[in-house]
Amino acid sequence: MSERLRRAREDAGFSDAASAARRFGWPETTYRAHENGQRNFPKKRAEIYARAFRVSPEWLLLGVGDARKKAVPLVGYVGAGAEVYAIDDGGALDEIDPPPGIGPSAVAVMVRGDSMYPRYMEGDVLIYDTHTPLQAADGQECVVSLTDGRKFVKLVRAEPDGSVTLESWNTPPIRRAQCEWLAAIIWVKRARTAGPRRG
């Protein structure tokens, strides 16, 4: 178990146990004891480690199955007005290598065009994971699904009446919107560092 945990941590891009423990808020002494074999870890803890390192808990606990990291599915695009054009049939346009610490339920959308410049550029990939409660999403940049079916990448401002104001760089805010769900953006994979193409 401890050897598989060490391997999963290294494969996820963490050079040492301390950096992984800090990244995920785990008690460092406990994590080190699990990784160096001083203490076995229970199934519940294996599920936490597996989610963080994108491997299966069965592989961590028993060595059963595959140790490969699960790719992040690219499920749509973000276009003009920061609107998300998602594939809603459960499929994916492509797969992306997962960055360190991204859970197995994460998905991604890719920026198309320059309507989100200077915040995002064409080809940037935005990764988001689980739905975020409204109060936790307040002040966060999120993928937002409205009750009318539209989806956006916006900065969320919670309103006292339970609605939200959605802000972005280049378009007027959407006020008093009703959300079906919100998911905070947890990672951005940059396509390049130059400005948008013009012409």
pLDDT tens, the chain, 199 aa long: 999 999 999 988 889 999 999 888 899 999 999 999 999 999 999 988 887 887 888 899 998 876 766 788 898 999 877 788 876 656 678 888 877 767 667 889 999 988 888 899 999 999 998 788 999 999 999 999 999 989 999 999 999 999 999 998 888 999 999 999 999 999 999 986 544 444 3
**Token couple for 149:** 């079916």
Q: What pTM was computed for the model?
A: 0.67
Locus of tokens 């400005």: 195
> Model confidence over 141-165: pLDDT tens digits?
999 999 998 999 999 999 999 999 9
Q: Are residues 55 and 78 in the same domain?
A: no
Domain that holds residue 98: 72-189
| Domain count across the chain | 2
Q: Are residues 89 and 178 in the same domain?
A: yes
Residue 7: name the closest of 35, 41, 47, 37 by CA. 35
> Which residue, of 62, 92, 111, is where some domain finishes?
62
114: burial class by Cβ within 10 Å (0-12, 13-18, 19+)? middle
Is the residue at 131 inside a domain?
yes
Task: Let me know: does 153 contact 166? Beta carbons within 8 Å.
Answer: no
Q: How many helices (H) and strands (E) does the chain have?
A: 6, 10
